[in-house]
Amino acid sequence: MKTLLKIFGGLIALLLIVVVAGGVLLGMFFDPNEYKPEIQKLALEKGGVQLQINGDLGWSVFPWLGIEINQIKVNYPGKPQLAELNQAQVSVELPALLSGNVKMSSILLDGLTLNLEQSKQGSNWALASAAQPASGEASTETPVAAEAAEAEASDGAAIALDIESIAITNGNISYTDTTTGSKVLLKNFTMTSGKVTTGAYFPAELSFQAEQYQADQKQLTVDAALTAEFFLDLANQQYNIKGLESTLGLSGVPFNDKTVQVKLNSDIEANLANETATLKGMSLSAANLVANGDVSVASFSKPVISGNLNVAQFSLQELLAALGQPAIETTDSDVLKAISFNAQLGGAANTLGLNKMSLKLDDTNFNGSFAMNLATGSIAFNLTGDELNADRYLPPASEQPAQASSETKTKSTGYSKEAIIPVELLQGLNMDVDLGLQKLLINNLTLTNLQLATSAHGGLVNISKLNADMYSGTLRNSAIIDARKSPTKLTITENISNIQIGDLLMDMAEVDRLTGTFNTQSKVTAQGESVYSIINSLNGYAKVTMPDGAVKGIDIAQTICQGFNNVGSLGIDTDQVDRSTPFADLSSNFKFTNGVISNQDLITKLDAITLRGKGNVSLPAQDMDYRLGLTIEENLFKKTCSVNNSLEGVEWPVNCKGSFDTPPAQLCRPDTSVLKDLLKQKAKKELESKLMEKLGGDDGDSKVEGAKKLLKGLFGS
């Protein structure tokens, strides 16, 4: 056995002597620069690239197997220049390499420039189709190359690195896409390291500048710098980064030429063998926004994500200012200044989940959860809040110029045919949303127990709940938008019950003139993507009721009654009293047919007066033809004034007819034919009275009867 070991040792020593002697002779008698033409020829024949070597080549063999390259250029035939390199130096110690380790002197890569171009004709970084290897060659060589790569990866796991330092300086990369007019430049790329060894931390630094252009106009500039200590354990595929400190300076059009500093600090551990990675002590800051947390990922193919995320309280207004964005104008200048967020990360495999999510918006607290499937992109989101005063967040009231008078108002040009429903966006949605709020104040209205439940998948949006409680009543609404096929179909169902209209009007407009319980039920359908299409396809029904109400402050029935009596008495006025007018059975049914609203049964009873209405309103034609009628009847509730017998039971109509652009004073006018008939009747009775007097008055029945017959013959009554 000892003899065999001696023989083996002798062979190794002999091999080293041969290698050393060969290296010495190679360096003494062979100049690699003499082989530039051959190297360039082989690059074109084997690699399909044009290689231009303008600088010197140098090599060494023992104890360092090294190479030095200067000033080379590379491009594919007939295509723009792809790459340029000023200098590259690398050398490996042969004895260490033979023992299974990689020991290098400093690695230097200076002046690397890559020019990547994409056009309609293709790219400059790929072989032309004619230059690709034959299919037979590819099928023969690919398995061999794959096996070699696998063997190299397998063997490489046990290799120990020992590199004095790495320096990559003056690196520049440009990417130009002429089809979109965009360009990205990566400039002054620099990376330096200390001694690189396996199983121990070593320092490294990296910096670069990046610019993004669109149509030759600079849009974004990035200044990046990174420092950290790196740990490599190739055998166990363990890779760590300790003390990562990275800074990005962002400026350009998105930030209105302001510079935004973004910083990320963290410790990172990754084990490729176990498919795990963690970010510990992560701190991310952008202007006044600071986020902290820990994140762990297991199973890279179907990641399981866990950890926590916290966003410290910040002012959104200050953040917008730092980002070069305009402030959000609000009625209350003290809002949007105290926002914070925190959540636990967790969920099923292939899911990004935020559990126990808490969001604070000034004085309002929200809680909920969020989950996104990383494979399908589907989202499930639920959020509930306590109390929100939305009026504080609305834009401040602006002083609008006085509107033009009805006489100078321009005529409507009709409904737009431009699509307003984002069909492609709806078809791409894959989400389920459930929102709730205990109390909402908006436009001085108070709503409680708000609920919004929506599912949107593949173009079918189902708003199954759009509910709220308000003013002793309830709103229970729903809607469906079906954009899976053209045209888009819409269905809206509304159910409003027992709303106390008096309380609503007081909060909304501080008007205390009406009381009653308001109810409405409706269901309408439409189709299309534009306002024009929706209006012209509107179909469905609506029913409105408001029983047992009252109009406060004035006795409408008495006022109208007295007004009628004044007309009937040719101007004799009477005193009016200020009382309330109760009404009952206010109800009506509406039918929608291709945008035309038809109503034939509007009715309400005001004390001793009945109001009826019927007619049509055409939304497509933007006109209406509607008739309102007031009829004095005997003692519906009470008798507030004495009704002239000639007026009782007579309908006093108001006709509303014309386009939506017609001024109201001209749109609705009384039907004067009723007044003419009443005046004729009054004149007839007065004439009858005078003739009766001339014919002898009431002296005897025979004379009276004779006079009546005579008058009947004269007036036909």
- State pLDDT tens for residues 354-402: 999 999 999 999 999 999 999 999 999 999 999 999 999 999 877 555 4
Mean pLDDT, the chain, integer: 81
Residues 538 and 427 grouped into a single domain: yes
The burial of 503, by beta-carbon neighbours within 10 Å (0-12 exposed, 13-18 middle, 19 or more buried), is given as middle
* C-beta of residue 561 within 8 angstroms of C-beta of residue 609: yes
- State pLDDT tens for residues 303-359: 999 999 999 999 999 999 999 999 999 999 999 999 999 999 999 999 999 999 999
Q: Enter the tokens of residue 28.
A: 């003494």
Q: Which residues partner with 450 through β-bridges?
A: 437
Beta strands in 158-237 (DSSP E): 160-163, 166-177, 182-193, 196-197, 201-214, 217-233
Q: Enter the tokens of residue 633.
A: 């009847």
* C-beta of residue 443 within 8 angstroms of C-beta of residue 433: no
pLDDT confidence bin for 97, thresholds 50/70/90: low
pLDDT of 635 over the 60 cut: no
Q: Residue 567: its pLDDT value, please?
A: 54
Beta strands in 508-644 (DSSP E): 514-515, 517-527, 539-546, 549-551, 581-593, 596-606, 609-618, 623-632
Percentage of the chain beyond pLDDT 90 is 48
Residues 489 and 529 grouped into a single domain: yes
Query: Region 583-604: what's the mean pLDDT?
Result: 89
Q: Residue 575: its pLDDT value, please?
A: 46
* C-beta of residue 284 within 8 angstroms of C-beta of residue 291: yes
Does some domain include residue 538?
Answer: yes
Q: Which amino acid is at 393?
A: Y
Q: Is the peptide bond before 547 cis (omega within 30 degrees of 0)?
A: no
Does some domain include residue 134?
Answer: no
Residues 511 and 556 grouped into a single domain: no
Q: Residue 688: its pLDDT value, please?
A: 65
Q: Enter the tokens of residue 6.
A: 């001696």
Boundary of a domain, candidates 346, 372, 398: 372
* Bigger pLDDT: 651 vs 290: 290
pLDDT confidence bin for 634, thresholds 50/70/90: low
Residues 523 and 557 grouped into a single domain: no
Boundary of a domain, candidates 341, 372, 403: 372
pLDDT confidence bin for 655, thresholds 50/70/90: confident
- State pLDDT tens for residues 278-303: 999 999 999 999 999 999 999 998 99
Q: Enter the tokens of residue 264.
A: 């990320």
Among candidate residues 316, 360, 324, the one with its CA nearest the CA of residue 341: 360
- Scanning 541-593, the segments in alpha helix (DSSP H) are 556-568
Residues 500 and 557 grouped into a single domain: no
Does some domain include residue 306?
Answer: yes
CA distance 389 to 386: 10
Residues 6+ apart with CB under 8 A from 192: 165, 166, 167, 168, 169, 204, 205
Residues 473 and 363 grouped into a single domain: no
Residues 565 and 614 grouped into a single domain: yes
Q: Residue 410: its pLDDT value, please?
A: 47
Domain extent for 477: 422-546
Run of H or E residues at 394: none
pLDDT confidence bin for 423, thresholds 50/70/90: very high
Sign of CA dihedral 338, 344, 348, 350: positive
- State pLDDT tens for residues 59-81: 766 666 777 888 988 888 888 88
Q: Is the peptide bond before 63 cis (omega within 30 degrees of 0)?
A: yes
pLDDT of 409 over the 80 cut: no
Query: Region 35-63: what's the mean pLDDT?
Result: 81
CA distance 367 to 613: 50
* Bigger pLDDT: 604 vs 147: 604
The burial of 314, by beta-carbon neighbours within 10 Å (0-12 exposed, 13-18 middle, 19 or more buried), is given as buried
- State pLDDT tens for residues 6-30: 544 444 444 444 444 445 555 555 6
DSSP, collapsed to helix, strand or coil, labels residue 559 as: helix
Among candidate residues 678, 87, 221, the one with its CA nearest the CA of residue 686: 678
Angle between helices 673-694 and 701-715 (to 10 degrees): 140
pLDDT confidence bin for 100, thresholds 50/70/90: low
Among candidate residues 587, 573, 580, the one with its CA nearest the CA of residue 557: 580
Location of structure tokens 């999510």:
357
Tally of domains within the chain: 4
Residues 686 and 623 grouped into a single domain: no
Q: Residue 126: its pLDDT value, please?
A: 74
Neighbours of 139 (CB within 10 A): 10
Does some domain include residue 528?
Answer: yes
pLDDT of 600 over the 90 cut: yes
Residue 602 sits at the vertex; the CA angle it makes with 598 and 604, to the nearest 5 degrees, is: 170
* Bigger pLDDT: 680 vs 58: 58
Backbone torsions φ then ψ of 145, nearest 5 degrees: -65, -40
Q: Residue 119: its pLDDT value, please?
A: 87
Boundary of a domain, candidates 356, 372, 388: 372
Residues 462 and 517 grouped into a single domain: yes
Run of H or E residues at 23: helix 2-29
pLDDT confidence bin for 577, thresholds 50/70/90: very low
- State pLDDT tens for residues 169-178: 999 999 999 9
DSSP, collapsed to helix, strand or coil, labels residue 49 as: coil
Q: Enter the tokens of residue 550.
A: 């009252």
Residues 454 and 516 grouped into a single domain: yes
Does some domain include residue 442?
Answer: yes
Among candidate residues 206, 195, 203, 190, the one with its CA nearest the CA of residue 165: 195
Residues 430 and 534 grouped into a single domain: yes
Query: Region 575-585: what's the mean pLDDT?
Result: 57
Backbone torsions φ then ψ of 117, nearest 5 degrees: -130, 135
pLDDT confidence bin for 425, thresholds 50/70/90: very high
* Bigger pLDDT: 514 vs 473: 473
* Bigger pLDDT: 404 vs 264: 264
- Scanning 179-234, the segments in alpha helix (DSSP H) are none
- State pLDDT tens for residues 681-696: 656 666 666 666 666 5
Sign of CA dihedral 461, 464, 470, 474: positive
Residues 572 and 489 grouped into a single domain: no
Q: Please state the length of the chain.
A: 717
- State pLDDT tens for residues 223-280: 999 999 999 998 889 999 999 999 999 999 999 989 999 999 999 999 999 999 999 9
Q: Which of 152-156, 234-238, 664-668: highest mean pLDDT?
A: 234-238
Does some domain include residue 158?
Answer: no
Q: Residue 550: its pLDDT value, please?
A: 73
Does some domain include residue 434?
Answer: yes
The burial of 545, by beta-carbon neighbours within 10 Å (0-12 exposed, 13-18 middle, 19 or more buried), is given as middle
Q: Residue 69: its pLDDT value, please?
A: 85
Does some domain include residue 126?
Answer: no
- State pLDDT tens for residues 479-513: 999 999 999 999 999 999 999 888 888 877 777 76
pLDDT confidence bin for 43, thresholds 50/70/90: confident
